[in-house]
Amino acid sequence: MPKLTQLWHPGELTPPGCDTALSPSFAPLKRRQSRNPFLSPVQVRKRWQALDNAEAQALLLDPQTEAVMEGYAKNIENFIGTIKMPVGLAGPLRVNGTHAQDDYLVPLATTEAALVASYHRGACLISEAGGASAMLLSEAVQRTPGFCFDTLAEAGQFVAWVSTQYEVFKGVAQSTTRHGRLESVSVNLEANNVYLVFEYTTGDASGQNMVTIATNAVFHHILEHSPVTPRHAYIEANLSGDKKATAQALRGVRGKKVSAEVILPAELVRQRLHTTTESMVAYGRLSATGGILSGAIGVQGHYANGLAALYIACGQDAACVGESAVGITRLEARDDGGLYASVTLPNLMLGTVGGGTGLPTPNACLSLMGLAGPGKARALAEVTAALCLAGELSIIGALSAGHFSRAHHKLARGKSA
């Protein structure tokens, strides 16, 4: 066993200098910025004066950004500029969906070499096999306020009252939004704590802000009219699964739940992936067990890669990859030697209106796929699932064929392994 490096002598309770280096410092702050978080030319100028870095300013606040910067006012605070990321195309990706019916060239924004190439390979493979079948299964977005009472009896009295108030709550929620709709209110009782699960549909918007505003109105109505006054109450009690992977996601839906599948002939697997159906299915079994051993929620290879790249390119909330990347990938051998592959993603938090989708470059990326604006969110969800299927086929094929490391060497380092 290798020896561990000693960072300091065993007799010392802390490393040399820690008593001063790690102590609180109340010296005057070296840098400050304006307390005004809003976007205006004056405030932007003040922030760059505090930064005092002309080279960075020229890159982040280029003339094009400066000309349109006020359009970002509702998307960010303490604005100083924009960044540029490389965007690549994967596809064509043929999708035969209930809402998406086209051959899509999918824009992906990333700085990870080999990512676009991998998704591109999977997309072209799917298209050569006739396309991916994709189906939106259900959709909903939750917000879960919590209420703390003194006793279980008080909590029970509160729940009894709540169970009679759905139509009232629905009317209050509806008064805050034209596009959102409160579909259900359910209760989770834990001793003297009550969690209410408000479930909405949000139209073509991803909907986090929409459901927060609607639930906030209901929340204050509850505090004003409840027959029992809670000791504590909070607009979100962490039961919704917002921006995190949760086990409950696999049983329900948050955002949009989509399944996509494709059948690959054995010869296509051999020609394009340089492996066999048997090898890929064997890897799928090994990978599923590995996922269980690791405690993973769901079983999949790398949904987060494609989701993050697509979300950044298309103006989605990138933090939602934390929940959107939950799902299940399955591979099955068919009697004729072909390969059946499917993905199910129950938490696709995305939209084609609101959020960052209206900003210039994200809107341009959505427009490249014909998926910008109202009426396109369900199609975007099906394309996204098909994209994840493409990525799974590509990475499993590379691992089965022993090409995984070679591709990264070739594309990331500019030479073959």
Q: Which of 365, 375, 385, 393 is nearest to 106 (CA)?
A: 365
Residues whose CB is less than 8 angstroms from the CB of residue 99 and which lie 6 or more positions away in sequence, other chains included: 136, 378, 379, 381, 382
Give me the helices (H) in 226-333, please.
Answer: 266-268, 277-294, 303-313, 321-324
Taking the domain 88-139+256-412, which CATH number applies?
3.90.770.10
The single residue of 112, 128, 236, 278 carrying the catalytic annotation is 112
Residue 417: the pLDDT is: 46
CA distance 324 to 329: 14
Taking the domain 145-234, which CATH number applies?
3.30.70.420
Residue 112 is among the residues annotated as catalytic for this protein: yes
Residues in the chain, pLDDT under 50: 417
pLDDT tens-digit series, residues 293-313: 999 999 999 999 999 999 999
Residue 224 is among the residues annotated as catalytic for this protein: no
The single residue of 199, 261, 317, 382 carrying the catalytic annotation is 317
Residue 247: the pLDDT is: 87
Residue 103 is among the residues annotated as catalytic for this protein: no
Residue 374: the pLDDT is: 97
Residue 20: the pLDDT is: 78
CA distance 149 to 189: 11
Residue 202: the pLDDT is: 96
Q: Sketch the domain layout of the chain as residue ranges.
A: 36-84, 88-139+256-412, 145-234
